[in-house]
Structure 1
Amino acid sequence: MIIESVIGNVATLEKRALHVERVYLKSDDLVKRIQRVVTDHGKELGIRLRENKDLIDGDILYIDEKNMIVISVKDDDLLTIMPTSIQQMGEIAHQLGNRHLPAQFEGNEMLVQYDYLVEELLRQLGIPFKREKRKVKQAFRHIGHSHD
């Protein structure tokens, strides 16, 4: 089966008693428009999205009267940064920007993929953080640039 578009998301779907098969993806794979995947029931699928849109946790790839196939994002190894002041937020945002490290925000927390150098920097700066396995809602986007 070839999937060319996302039907919807389970977060906005009216509740129905359907059998759910899951495709488990790493957050890095959410940005891939073309990929071969296998459901937790062993069904092989090809994903070839017509629209240039990232997948997100809960996206529905297939649905009929009895079954649906849904994207589930695997947990990432993250540093969850919890600055206690605008000063700390500015310091760490500047440092992460210099490293071109993508970040996401959830409430008052800044999430970055685990990096031992960033962990050491946070310790040096005295900025509260924790390392944890956690599911992110969307892929971390690396944005290229040059200093020309």
Structure 2
Amino acid sequence: MLRVVSHHHAGHSSGSPFDVVVLAHDERHLRRKVLALRNGLDVLVDLPEAIAFHHGDLLVLEDGRSVEIIAAKEQLYEISGQNGLHLMQLAWHLGNRHLPAQIEETRIVILRDHVIKSMLEGLGAKVSEIVEPFQPVRGAYHGTHSHGHGQGGHSHDDGHHHHDHSHQPSHHHD
């Protein structure tokens, strides 16, 4: 089986990919995994550290060929507010629940969850069902690169960040 030995971020390489792999948002955080390409070939991703890939990034195989990552279309909610400030308040309520969210200037996009939809509508948001690629903001503790560990004696593991970040629907309703 061919191995993925390196990668390029979208727009940073020449040549065209020979195949593509379609991955949902939670499948694009890769370190070691077998991926099935669209045309049927399996490849082994085997990277020294986990990397959060984005739509359009390329995986480079040991034979030099590349595979483009395509963000899968997902069942989502598009949230709009009454104005910019209202949208920021809605983002705060969502962030408080540690939900993956794609935050844009005029809308927020989240995975469908009827409990959250009811909460948002109760806060005056307009919530619509959409199907498109989902590209949530990467959390500060997703750790694709380590920044500043051990500098100035400040450790990131200070006991304050032990939330459950498995993105399962939460079962504790406020």
**TM-score interval (norm. to shorter):** 0.7 to 0.9
Between the aligned residues of both structures, percent identity stands at 21
Larger RCO (CA under 8 A, 6+ residues apart) = 1
Deviates more, 1:40-49 or 1:105-114: 105-114
Equivalent in the alignment of 1:107? 105
Contact 1:10–1:59 under 8 Å retained in 2: yes
Provide the secondary structure at the position in 2 that maps to 1:92. helix
Deviation string, structure 1 residues 3-45 (Cα, Å, up to 9, x no partner): 1321x2453445x5x4631111111011121110111111110
1:23 to 1:9, Cα distance in 2 relative to 1, 3 A: same
Equivalent in the alignment of 1:5? 6
Deviates more, 1:72-81 or 1:89-98: 89-98
What's the TM-score, normalizing by structure 2?
0.67
CA separation in 2, counterparts of 1:90 and 1:19? 39
Contact 2:74–2:132 under 8 Å retained in 1: yes
Root mean square deviation, CA, Å: 2.9
Q: Pick from 19, 22, 25: which aligns with 1:21?
A: 19
Q: Pick from 115, 119, 122: which aligns with 2:120?
A: 122
CA separation in 2, counterparts of 1:40 and 1:145? 37
Provide the secondary structure at the position in 1 that maps to 2:100. coil
Deviates more, 1:44-53 or 1:25-34: 44-53
Q: What runs of 5+ residues in structure 2 fail to find an aligned partner?
A: 142-160, 164-174
Deviates more, 1:82-91 or 1:102-111: 82-91
Deviates more, 1:32-41 or 1:105-114: 105-114
> Does 2:74 correspond to 1:76?
yes
Contact 2:81–2:124 under 8 Å retained in 1: no
Give the Å deviation of 1:60. 1.4
Equivalent in the alignment of 2:162? 145
Equivalent in the alignment of 2:87? 89
CA separation in 2, counterparts of 1:10 and 1:84? 34
What's the TM-score, normalizing by structure 1?
0.78
Q: What runs of 5+ residues in structure 1 fail to find an aligned partner?
A: none
1:42 to 1:117, Cα distance in 2 relative to 1, 3 A: same
Deviation string, structure 1 residues 91-137 (Cα, Å, up to 9, x no partner): 32232133221322233211211111111112222212211111134
CA separation in 2, counterparts of 1:97 and 1:19? 36
CA separation in 2, counterparts of 1:42 and 1:90? 43
